[in-house]
Structure 1
């Protein structure tokens, strides 16, 4: 999950990226990215509803 969250910001050390490439399962990364994206979008929608309504 940490690798996915860092990738949302676009900052990652090349050493950590190389380690992630060898250790992480692509399916787990995809699932974690979908969950993180859904939480991010849900948070944005909640903030908009709070401000507007």
Structure 2
């Protein structure tokens, strides 16, 4: 019987076991929301960050972004600037 190639699950387990800090992950996700990142910083993030932390930070960042937009719109509408009066 021929050995079957192992699935890439081992790579995922290895990535999830990385010990990157959650604060570092938040910083990397914030830079990605801003859209500016050096290639060297990206390479460092890919090698150190835990994918689970990246997903959690991304969801938190998106929720925070939407919350800020909603509050900004409510503030503008309440100030009367949007209605012209």
Give the alignment's TM-score, normalised by structure 2. 0.60
Structure 1 runs of 4+ aligned residues shifted over 2 Å read none
Give the secondary-structure state (helix, strand or coil) at the position aligned to 1:5. Answer: helix
Match of 1:36 in 2: 61
Partner of 2:34: 9
Q: Please say if 1:47 is aligned against 2:72.
A: yes
1:26 matches 2:51: yes
Bigger Rg, which one: 2
Q: Which has the higher contact order (CA 8 A, sep 6+)?
A: 1
Shift in Å, 1:42: 0.2
In the comparison of the two structures, how many residue pairs are matched? Answer: 53
Deviation, 1:51, is 1.0
Long gaps (5+) in structure 1: none
